[in-house]
Amino acid sequence: MEDRVGPTPRLGMLEIDGARAAAERVGIPETMAELSVFRVLLRHEELAARVNGLLQQLLWRSCLDARLRELIIMRIGWSQAAAYEWTQHWRVARLLEIPEADLVAVREWVDSDRFDRADRAVLAATDDTLAAGAISDETWRELEATIPDELARMEVVIAIGNWSMFAQLLRSLAIPLEDGVAPWPPDGRAPNDAT
């Protein structure tokens, strides 16, 4: 197996050419097939296609503001110690020009002054869901006050569920980072490191 950052995946990864061929059979973009997570998921082509469909909806056809989505994902990656999720979405968030300082502040967002009311509402919704399995009434009222579109609020719930599932999937299947990708940008600090 190729040298990779992290453990050996528990289910094994398809070679790149095999992943591309599987992706083509089920309509998954080639760029997704090259990611370690899809090189594992594409062993189950139909399931991978459905997972990809939800990702495509949430990433490219969403009602929810992309910044809010990425804050949710980064908070889940950090809270769930999912290095792959944090690292992949660090790159996505930076491509969206979300400031590096905002992403780092997600780690201890409650004490940060970098977030507006909507940011804080989605971060609170994320923490509520991770801690109690649902968004509290108080946090829901903040979502209603800051995200007027009810479909976008629905997507907050779905995004939290989706990327929580991804954090579990990535950790449970021991998905490694792609070659040459350093974990936990920008500073290598992981959730279990001393502060």
* Contact criterion met (CB below 8 Å) for 188 and 101: no
Residue 146, C-beta contacts closer than 8 angstroms, at least 6 positions apart:
117, 118, 121
Residue 4 banded pLDDT, cuts 50, 70, 90: very low
Note the pLDDT tens digit of each residue in 9-42: 899 999 999 999 999 999 999 999 999 999 999 9
Check whether 1 has a pLDDT greater than 50.
no
> Of how many residues is the chain composed?
195
Residue 152, C-beta contacts closer than 8 angstroms, at least 6 positions apart:
62, 63, 64, 65
Q: What is the pLDDT of residue 3?
A: 39
Q: Which amino acid is at 85?
A: E
Spell out the domain ranges in the chain: 16-60, 66-172
β-sheet bridge partners, residue 5? 177
Q: What is the pLDDT of residue 8?
A: 83
Check whether 189 has a pLDDT greater than 60.
yes
Residue 106 banded pLDDT, cuts 50, 70, 90: very high
Mean pLDDT of 99-109: 98
The domain 66-172 is classified under which CATH number: 1.10.10.10, 1.20.1290.10, 3.10.450.30, 3.40.190.10?
Answer: 1.20.1290.10
What value does the mean pLDDT of the chain take?
Answer: 95
Q: What is the pLDDT of residue 119?
A: 98
Residue 195 banded pLDDT, cuts 50, 70, 90: very low
Backbone dihedral angles phi then psi of residue 177, each to the nearest 5 degrees? -65, 160
Note the pLDDT tens digit of each residue in 59-98: 999 999 999 999 999 999 999 999 999 999 999 999 999 9
Tokens representing residue 2 in the block: 């190729």
CB-based burial label for 92 (10 Å; 0-12, 13-18, 19+): middle
Q: What is the pLDDT of residue 32?
A: 96
CA angle centred on 116, ends 113 and 119, rounded to 5° = 105
Residue 6 banded pLDDT, cuts 50, 70, 90: low
Residues 108 and 104: their CA atoms lie apart, in Å, by 8
Dihedral sign, Cα of residue 195, residue 182, residue 123, residue 164: negative
